[in-house]
Amino acid sequence: MVQFAFIYHMAEAANWPVIQRNGLHSTSALLDLADICGEDRERLEKQQRLTHTELLNGVQLRDQRPMPPTALANCLIGLTPSEWYALINARVFFWLDPARLNRHRAACEPRPQVVLTVDASKLVAAYAEKIAVTPINTGNARRRPARRGAATFVPYAAWITSAWTSEAASLGTPVRPSSHHPVELTVTGSIPDIMQFVVEVQQLAPGQLFTPAYH
């Protein structure tokens, strides 16, 4: 059973026309669609992106400045920074807390953004096997970052039955209480039919924060 009603995805406003036509895609899937390979692919997918990037087809990729490799090396368990970037780039991310989304929005200034409010139950019903939840903001490794690894992405079915026990068992960390709410929901690969699950679209101008109509 889904324990949250709505989840939120923030995208670059420049990518909105593509999202409406083709759905939501992970960075890796976007690189596939843009036929990016070789050294360029390695740089964008498995190294820290220090700058906002526009692909030749006009799709924009955000920077990953909050994830420097030196910081990741100190908190990763069982993965290299390169493997962590690849793991992150293989997923589409949703926030569960609008306040966290707005902190992310502030980091994307001054570029306009678009926020999709998604019916969580319908998305989970369609994509359950590709869904994982996380107990932390996986895109930030600054300021005493939490230990993390592949097990940070807890499969949705495992989270429903045993909360965060699989994370603790794999990473050797204390078990988080079941009351600890997920921070992110992720879907591996692509969601080509995302618009079937969207209940609201909110365009954010520079300086504008997201105000959820659904909670």
Query: To the nearest whole number, what is the mean pLDDT of the chain?
Result: 95
Name 14's Cβ contacts closer than 8 Å, sequence gap at least 6. 54, 58, 60, 111, 112
pLDDT digits (tens, 9 = 90+) for 85-127: 999 999 999 999 999 999 999 999 999 999 999 999 999 999 9
Which pLDDT score, from 0 to 100, does residue 31 have? 96
Question: Residue 143 — pLDDT band, cuts 50, 70, 90?
Answer: confident
pTM here? Answer: 0.95
Are 130 and 24 in contact by the 8 Å Cβ rule? The answer is no
Q: What is the pLDDT of residue 92?
A: 98
Q: If phi over 0 gives left and psi between -120 and 50 gives alpha, with beta otherwise, what is residue 205? A: beta
Averaged pLDDT, 187-201: 98
At residue 4 the predicted structure's pLDDT band, cuts being 50, 70 and 90, is confident
pLDDT score for 138? 97
CA-CA distance, 60 to 94, in Å (whole number)? 18
Q: Are 72 and 81 in contact (CB under 8 A)?
A: yes
User: What pLDDT is recorded for position 137?
Assistant: 97
Q: What percent of the chain has pLDDT over 90?
A: 94
Q: What is the pLDDT of residues 37-94, one digit of tens each?
A: 999 999 999 999 999 999 999 999 999 999 999 999 999 999 999 999 999 999 999 9
> Quick one: DSSP state of residue 108?
T
pLDDT band at 214 (very low <50, low <70, confident <90, very high): confident
What band does 2 get if pLDDT is binned at 50, 70 and 90?
Answer: low
